Structure 1
Amino acid sequence: MSSQAQASPALLGVGILGAGPVTQAIHLPSLARLGDILEVRHIMDIDPVVAESVAGRVGARFSTSMDELLADPAVDIVAICSPHQFHAAQVIAACRAGKKAVLCEKPFAMNGEEAAAISAVSAETGVPIIVGAMHTFDPGWLAAEDAWGDLPEQVHTVRSSIVLPPNPRFEDFATEIVGRVTPPSSDSTDPEVIKGMLTGGVMGLAIHDLPLVRRFTPDFADVEVLHAEIVRPFGYVISLRAGNVAIELRAAMNATWEPAWEFEAIGDDAALKIDFTPSYVQAGSATARIRTAGRTTVLGPFGHNGYEGEWRKLAELASGTGQPPSAETLIHDLEFALAIAEAAAGRVDTGRVDAGSAASGTTADQEVNA
Structure 2
Amino acid sequence: MTLSSHHQPGAPLGVGILGAGPVTQAIHLPSLARLTDILQVRHIMDVDPAVAESVAGRVGARFSTSMEELLADPNVDIVAICSPHQFHAAQVIASCRAGKKAVLCEKPFAMTGEEAAGISAVSAETGVPIIVGAMHTFDPGWLAAEAAWGDLPEQVHTIRSSIVLPPNPRFEDFATEIVGRIPVPTQDLSDPEVIKARLRGGVMGLAIHDLPLVRRFTPDFAAVEVLHAETAEPFGYVISMRAGSVAIELRAAMNDTWEPAWVFEAIGDDAALKIDFTPSYVHAGSATAQIRKAGQTLFLGPYGHNGYEGEWRKLAELASGTGQPPSAETLIHDLEFALSIAEAAVGLVDGGTAGATAAEEVSA
TM-score by length of 1: 0.91
Q: Contact 2:277/2:287 (CA < 8 Å) preserved in 1?
A: yes
Amino acid in structure 1 at the alignment position of 2:123:
S
TM-score by length of 2: 0.93
Q: What CA distance in whole angstroms lies between the structure 1 residues aligned with 2:186 and 2:260?
A: 27
Q: Report what 1:334 is aligned to.
A: 335
Q: Report what 1:357 is aligned to.
A: none
Q: Contact 1:218/1:243 (CA < 8 Å) preserved in 2?
A: no
1:274 maps onto 2:268 in alignment? no
Q: What CA distance in whole angstroms lies between the structure 1 residues aligned with 2:299 and 2:287?
A: 11
1:87 maps onto 2:85 in alignment? no
1:188 maps onto 2:177 in alignment? no
Q: Contact 1:270/1:291 (CA < 8 Å) preserved in 2?
A: yes
Identity %: 87
Amino acid in structure 2 at the alignment position of 1:312:
R
Q: Contact 2:129/2:325 (CA < 8 Å) preserved in 1?
A: yes
Structure 1 residue 118, shift from structure 2 partner: 0.1
Q: Report what 1:31 is aligned to.
A: 32
- For 1:124-180, what per-residue CA distance to the aligned partner results, in whole angstroms no more than 9, with x for missing partners? 000000000000000000000000001111111100000000000012333334322
**Paired residues for 1:7-26 under 5 Å:** 10-26=11-27
Q: Contact 2:200/2:343 (CA < 8 Å) preserved in 1?
A: yes
Q: What CA distance in whole angstroms lies between the structure 1 residues aligned with 2:8 and 2:251?
A: 46
- For 1:256-312, what per-residue CA distance to the aligned partner results, in whole angstroms no more than 9, with x for missing partners? 341000000011110000000001010100000000121000010001000000000
Q: Contact 1:50/1:177 (CA < 8 Å) preserved in 2?
A: no
Q: Report what 2:214 is aligned to.
A: 213
**Paired residues for 1:221-260 under 5 Å:** 221-260=222-261
Q: Contact 2:172/2:178 (CA < 8 Å) preserved in 1?
A: no
Q: Report what 2:102 is aligned to.
A: 101
Q: Report what 2:361 is aligned to.
A: none
- For 1:166-213, what per-residue CA distance to the aligned partner results, in whole angstroms no more than 9, with x for missing partners? 000012333334322333322211111111110100000000000000
Q: What CA distance in whole angstroms lies between the structure 2 residues aligned with 1:334 and 1:97?
A: 24
**Quick check: 8-17 or 212-221, which moved more?**
8-17
Q: Contact 2:238/2:249 (CA < 8 Å) preserved in 1?
A: yes
Q: Report what 1:289 is aligned to.
A: 290
Q: Contact 2:44/2:61 (CA < 8 Å) preserved in 1?
A: yes
1:320 maps onto 2:337 in alignment? no
Structure 1 residue 248, shift from structure 2 partner: 0.2
**Paired residues for 1:110-149 under 5 Å:** 110-149=111-150
5+ residue gaps, structure 1: 1-5, 352-370
5+ residue gaps, structure 2: 1-5, 353-364
Q: Contact 1:203/1:341 (CA < 8 Å) preserved in 2?
A: yes
Q: Secondary structure at the match of 1:345?
A: helix
Q: Contact 1:103/1:130 (CA < 8 Å) preserved in 2?
A: yes
Q: What CA distance in whole angstroms lies between the structure 2 residues aligned with 1:326 and 1:299?
A: 27
Q: What CA distance in whole angstroms lies between the structure 2 residues aligned with 1:133 and 1:85?
A: 17
Structure 1 residue 7, shift from structure 2 partner: 8.6
Q: Report what 1:77 is aligned to.
A: 78
Q: Contact 2:271/2:291 (CA < 8 Å) preserved in 1?
A: yes
Amino acid in structure 1 at the alignment position of 2:208:
I
1:156 maps onto 2:157 in alignment? yes
Q: What CA distance in whole angstroms lies between the structure 2 residues aligned with 1:7 and 1:245?
A: 48
How many residues align structurally?
A: 346
CA RMSD of aligned residues (A): 1.4
Q: What CA distance in whole angstroms lies between the structure 1 residues aligned with 2:45 and 2:188?
A: 36
- For 1:21-57, what per-residue CA distance to the aligned partner results, in whole angstroms no more than 9, with x for missing partners? 1001000000010011000000000111111111111
Q: Report what 1:300 is aligned to.
A: 301
Q: Report what 2:58 is aligned to.
A: 57
Q: Contact 1:271/1:290 (CA < 8 Å) preserved in 2?
A: yes
Q: What CA distance in whole angstroms lies between the structure 1 residues aligned with 2:124 and 2:49?
A: 34
Change (3 A) 1:294 1:122: same
Structure 1 residue 349, shift from structure 2 partner: 4.3
Amino acid in structure 2 at the alignment position of 1:300:
G
1:261 maps onto 2:262 in alignment? yes
